Amino acid sequence: MHLSAYSGCLPKVASNTTVFENSNVTDKEAQTVSRQANYSFAICDLSSELMRATKNISFTSLKQLGIRRSEAANADLISFNPLSKTFKLKGKNMEYVMHVDPKTSDLVNVHWGKSGDKPFPLSKYKKMANSSWQSEMDVIPREFPDAGRGDNRTPAIQISTPEGITTSQFEYKGHEIIQGKPELDGLPSLYGDKDKAQTLKVRMYDKAADLELELFYTVFKDKDVICRSSRVINKSDKPVSIEKIASISADFPPDDYKIMKLSGNWANERQEEVVDLKPGNFSISSRFGASGHEHNPYLALYSDKTTEDKGNANAFSLVYSGSFSAEAEQNREKCTRIVMGLNPQAFRWKLEPGKSFQTPECVGVYSSDGLNGLTEQLHHTFKDNLIRSEWKDKERPVLLNTWEASYFWFNHDKIVDMAKEAKKIGAELVVLDDGWFGKKYKRNWDRCGLGDWETNTGKLPKGLNGLADDVTKLDLKFGLWVEPEMVSPKSELYEKHPDWVISQPKRDKTQMRHQLVLDMSKKEVQDYVIDSMSKILDGANIEYIKWDMNRSMTEVGSNALPPDRQMETQHRYMQGLYRVLDTLTKKYPHVLWEGCASGGGRFDPGMLQYFPQIWTSDNTDPLDRLNIQAGTARVYPPIAMGAHVSKSPNPITKRKTDLEFRFDSAMSAGNMGLELDPRKMSRQEKELAKEKIEFYKEVRPVIQNGEYHQLRSPFGKNWSAVQYTKDDASEAVAFAFQKQKQEGGYVPPIKLAGLKENELYKVNDQPEPLSGKRLMSAGIIPKFSKDNDSEVYHIKQVG
């Protein structure tokens, strides 16, 4: 398409979109277009190399375009230079620059870092290809690398066509700039208003395979975040197989890099682990249908000179709850490529002619303030641009969950009695956990009943409705546990629909926790779940739901799909699940939804879109929780983290801890609740609990909606501390912990953060106020005296 056509097509496109089609742009035409379309780009930012690359266009001719530095400063978040075919995307402090290679029409990354920082020159990359065995493709930083045409690093896309094409060659064809952040169809995604976010859609085309590829990039005015995803459209008349397609691929210049990942297992989720990258391929993944306990869909990449507070760092967080893979590949020159998206070992997609495939999206973050800068950006992005619930900024109620208090053994009166006692100490919501349902197969243990979402009237003679009413009468909210994605083989649902489960022909169905996974890729299963959950929510005054999911997938397959589409099952399951969650959370917007997957087995941004809080771990041991909570808060806002005070000895670790430590540890995570039988607490315990809950409610606005500072990480350390600060720095709460008592040992001071240097603050009931400067430089020395000890500081500005 030529320029006249370009100008002509502008009005036909939605008014919030600007379109550019690739063409042989002449210097003169570009001037006209640039003025007409009011494109602005910074002349000063074009490297001399790029200038040469754009057919020797001189500085003077760029100047003739009449674009001044001042205009560049006020430029949109996304600008395009039609002469050098360079895109510049700006965040708050970062910029992301890429250009179309004039020889290959490939999209090449120029810079992702601090605005104004000098990029690593392309010429230096090119020099790295120094033998006939290595092409330039193998060394230059590419935006969406393909496989098999000279770039031997891990690809972002791999296809296979019926004619036998297994390579791809996507070339730039055009682009659109869209105001705001469009939602992804059927997948969770960030959102952003037109005045705060812009999205670039770059269109690439592979002639031989007749495939179009759309690359999406969104930047936000007030953040250093770039949100990316990709979409393939089959323009040919034959089906194409997508073997691998990433959400993001990013190449970084040579450096000594470290990776931080959040890994663990059940009851030990999201432990921070740091790895020194070496040449070769490093990866984390899940393959079993959930993001999982083992590895969170998150990676941070940073130079070994970067610290918690200083230096460049990047993070990648995938907005997806199923199987994923995150690769970090480093070459001999220490250039590093990150590729993140659906796990190719659990995915393949047959794309019919005319159809498209959209990947999940990945949140890419840049920080020049070290690792803490990444955390700050992620917390704000998830709070401002991901979580959609009405409860997003609302203070969360102190809940009592009945699971560890009574497991499957309860009845109406027991729950009401527990509620009465919980109310006395300050609880605001009572949640009935597993065990309340099943008529033919009563859920009195974990071997039956899942799928039969009807009240067991033996336990609850007044029904859920009657129980909810009796709890609500006590001026408490009532909440309920469900596990809708599962079915027990011993259930009426399975007897009626044995074909509704994930399975493969001729294979035994592996049971885990005596249950099977429903095939959520099937519309009738999705509708069954929507209907049965709606009946529950319509039938009683339920203000909170805990949505659990307690096993991974095995023998993955769907009898609704033909043999050549079986590898689509996992992703189709996720699409089905997201449809169900979208429908239910929109239908019941006032309900506070909490996600759970055997604790924190699906604590990811995909779930966060629907569930504003997630059960962090089945492990409620306050000591273990310090690490689990700190690891989780690296990425996720503390308000999203369920943290409960449970009994001692702890049911999982058998460790004995005192009640004060249990309260302080839970409170320090952000969203505190109880997971014990209040009837069994002694008078002194109840008094302490009441006092602690009262204090928590006082500081809850600061903890849940203030700024999070990890003052001292608990990983590998005996002493840790965390602080929450009110936006205007007039109030803060800090928690300090000691794991083990050390005789005569030195306890390091807790140096506070984010206060106003010259203002005076009172710490707890200390008579003498201290300056913000002193609290941040000299700090506070905790007076620890025993193993598992804690101190809490309430810091208030004086006057």
Query: Where do contacts with ligand GLA occur on this chain (CB under 6 A)?
Result: 403, 433-434, 481, 548, 550, 596, 598-599, 615, 618
Spatial neighbors of 391 by CB under 8 A, at least 6 apart, are 592, 612, 613
Choose among 658, 646, 599, 601: nearest CA to 404.
Answer: 646
Report the residue closest to ligand GLA, judged by CB: 434
Distance, CA of 480 to CA of 544 (rounded, Å): 6
**Tokens 């502008």 correspond to what residue?**
10
CB of 142 to ligand GLA, least distance (A): 42
Buried b (16+ CB within 10 A) or exposed e, 176-187: bbbbbbbebeeb
CB of 482 to ligand GLA, least distance (A): 10
For residue 296, the SS3 value is strand
253 vs 595, which CB is nearer to ligand GLA?
595
377 vs 619, which CB is nearer to ligand GLA?
619
Spatial neighbors of 385 by CB under 8 A, at least 6 apart, are 181, 190, 191, 192, 197, 220, 223
Distance, CA of 689 to CA of 685 (rounded, Å): 6
CB of 401 to ligand GLA, least distance (A): 7
CB of 292 to ligand GLA, least distance (A): 14
436 vs 724, which CB is nearer to ligand GLA?
436
Q: Is 261 exposed, middle or buried (0-12, 13-18, 19+ CB in 10 A)?
A: buried
138 vs 548, which CB is nearer to ligand GLA?
548
- DSSP class of residue 551 equals -
In this structure, the strands spanning 671-675 and 399-401 are parallel
Give alpha helix (H) positions in 347-476: 370-385, 403-406, 412-425, 463-473
615 vs 724, which CB is nearer to ligand GLA?
615
Choose among 706, 557, 735: nearest CA to 638.
Answer: 706
Share in percent of the chain as helix, strand, coil (round to 5): 25, 30, 45
CB of 474 to ligand GLA, least distance (A): 23
**Tokens 């740091």 correspond to what residue?**
274
488 vs 705, which CB is nearer to ligand GLA?
488
Adjacent-strand bridge partners of 790: 737
Residue 701 parent element (H or E) = helix 683-705
553 vs 699, which CB is nearer to ligand GLA?
553
Cis bond before residue 11 (omega within 30° of 0)? no
The identity of residue 759, as a single letter, is E
For residue 221, the SS3 value is coil
Expressed in angstroms, the distance from the first to the final Cα of the chain is 67
CB of 381 to ligand GLA, least distance (A): 27
Catalytic residue flag (residue 618) = yes
82 vs 264, which CB is nearer to ligand GLA?
264
Choose among 171, 173, 200, 170: nearest CA to 21.
Answer: 173
Distance, CA of 271 to CA of 263 (rounded, Å): 5
Give the CA angle between residues 358, 363, 366 to the nearest 5°.
Answer: 145
Q: What is the 3-state secondary structure (H, E, C) of 482-522?
A: ECCCEECCCCHHHHHCHHHECCCCCCCCCCECCEEEECCCC
For residue 600, the SS3 value is strand
The identity of residue 145, as a single letter, is P
Distance, CA of 625 to CA of 616 (rounded, Å): 9
CB of 444 to ligand GLA, least distance (A): 12
168 vs 598, which CB is nearer to ligand GLA?
598
Catalytic residue flag (residue 548) = yes
Distance, CA of 656 to CA of 573 (rounded, Å): 42
The identity of residue 573, as a single letter, is Y
Q: Is residue 525 a contact partner of residue 518, using CB atoms and an 8 Å limit?
A: yes
596 vs 693, which CB is nearer to ligand GLA?
596
CB of 674 to ligand GLA, least distance (A): 13
580 vs 596, which CB is nearer to ligand GLA?
596
CB of 305 to ligand GLA, least distance (A): 40
Out of 519, 618, 621, 664, pick the active-site residue: 618
CB of 349 to ligand GLA, least distance (A): 32
CB of 601 to ligand GLA, least distance (A): 8
Out of 106, 146, 434, 548, pick the active-site residue: 548
Catalytic residues: 548, 618
